[in-house]
Amino acid sequence: MINIKRIISLCTLLCISSVYAVSDYQGKLRSAFDNKFISIVDGQNKYCFKGASGKLKSINNIGKCKSLDSVYLTNKGSICIETDNIACKVVQISIAGKYYWGKDKKSSINVFDNLDRMINGSGDILKKKRLLEEYTGKYIAIEKDNATLCFKKKNNKFKVIKNIGSCKPVKSVYLDSKSDKLCIDVSPTECKNIYVTASGHKWGEYGNTVRVYNELSHLDKVSESKKLSKVKSTVKNKHIAQDDDSNSKSDGSYWGKKYYDKAYKYYKKKDYNNAYKWAKKSADKGYDKGYFGLGLAFEKGYGVEKKDKKEALKWYLKAAEMGHTSSQFRAGLLLMFDDGAEAEKWFTKAADKGHITAQNNLGYMYGKGMGSSMWGDSKKAYKYYLMAAEQGSGVAQYNVCVFHYNGSGGAIKSNKIAKEWCQKAVDGGYGKAQSLLQRLD
């Protein structure tokens, strides 16, 4: 005779075990996503959200992220995304530890430590061998804090460049013998990996922009323009106040910089309340970077009650009109989908000074007809993509490859030239160029 009680007990135990397994899997996902920024790339769409307090919160109006109504994790370990309809797919984890959205593993889930890395792409570390090949015969400038560090890669050594424009004196530059890190002696010596991102190269994972030039004259031109802007600022503010209490308007540049430097130190420590406080004091002195700091605070919600795009744009425009490159770029970014012609104006100013992402965005806008011409301008699109490609941007190199493959935008139709650019994109970590490269082969 069958023992009914044993069967009931066994079924109960199996059910409890099944529920526990699902719950445990969901718990692991919540833990993996907690305080992280996550993006799902599904075909042409990119969905962005953040893990916070065991929940998923959607992030809209950031970079190329598609707007979401809501996002949540089900008890069965599926992520559900609500847009016009609801799409729920189970989270798959590969042997390599990578996350995928759906059993077909076509949609990747990327996890980042901070918002900036999610927007710009975390990037892979540029290995020593590839780094040496990439930079040989090139002039390199790294934008670190408020300084520009300049050097040249010749043969197997890095040579410091001095007395060029606004380049800060550097004692030495070298590759660490035991790692892939690039070390720069700026008292003290800092050693960081070079990261390959969607917009180019970064020195350190938190993003000191690396700019690469083919000729010294190109570096000198960009650096000299910065030097001239500083000279104009000095001439405008010849009087430097002797103390903090002076009411003279002419001391604005001096104390504005002092206050901004304090704000930046607090920002690096993620003490956003104090960062905002000192950025405000800097802005009150009429200092361009102080305006930029306030713009960033309102755009990101750092040290203020809530994000305010309109207020952020106001401060960015103040700095942009004074020639501040990053503010010109961020103003363009905020205007990009609201006022294409105005965004084009500010992107152009930043792009012409070497801002790589502004160059990419202009290429995209001219290609899509988002700026002053609703029909687009393929020649200008090619022009700005080429500018960014020459600085090492993978997405730009891929687009230049496409232009030469199609023979559009004034580019020579040439599979050979197209292949060279696609190869550079792939070598730099931009995987999307792989399929076209294979066709060209």
**Six-digit token string for 53:** 């307090």
Read off the pLDDT of each residue in 46-75 and give the average, rounded to a whole number: 81
Rounded distance, CA 249 to CA 29, Å? 55
Q: What is the pLDDT of residue 199?
A: 55
Q: Mean pLDDT in the chain?
A: 80
Query: How confident is residue 387, by pLDDT bands cut at 50, 70 and 90?
Result: very high
Choose the weakest-confidence range: 35-49, 56-70, 392-406: 56-70
The pLDDT of residue 174 is above 80: yes
The answer to whether the CB of 241 falls within 8 A of the CB of 253 is no
Neighbours of 413 (CB within 10 A): 12
Helix (H, G, I), strand (E, B) or coil at 110: strand
pTM for this model (two decimals): 0.47
Read off the pLDDT of each residue in 173-187 and give the average, rounded to a whole number: 86
Q: What is the pLDDT of residue 350?
A: 93
The pLDDT of residue 247 is above 80: no
Read off the pLDDT of each residue in 208-214 and give the average, rounded to a whole number: 80
The answer to whether the CB of 114 falls within 8 A of the CB of 121 is no
Read off the pLDDT of each residue in 232-251 and give the average, rounded to a whole number: 37
Rounded distance, CA 210 to CA 312, Å? 26
Read off the pLDDT of each residue in 89-117 and give the average, rounded to a whole number: 79
Q: What is the pLDDT of residue 349?
A: 94
**Six-digit token string for 218:** 């190109």
The answer to whether the CB of 428 falls within 8 A of the CB of 397 is yes
Write the pLDDT tens digit of every residue in 216-230.
776 765 554 444 444
DSSP line for 275-344? HHHHHHHHHHTT-HHHHHHHHHHHHHTSSSSS--HHHHHHHHHHHHTTT-HHHHHHHHHHHTTT-HHHHH
Rounded distance, CA 66 to CA 60, Å? 7
Which of 11-20, 181-190, 205-214, 416-425 has maximum average pLDDT? 416-425
Write the pLDDT tens digit of every residue in 273-314.
999 999 999 999 999 999 999 999 999 999 999 999 999 999
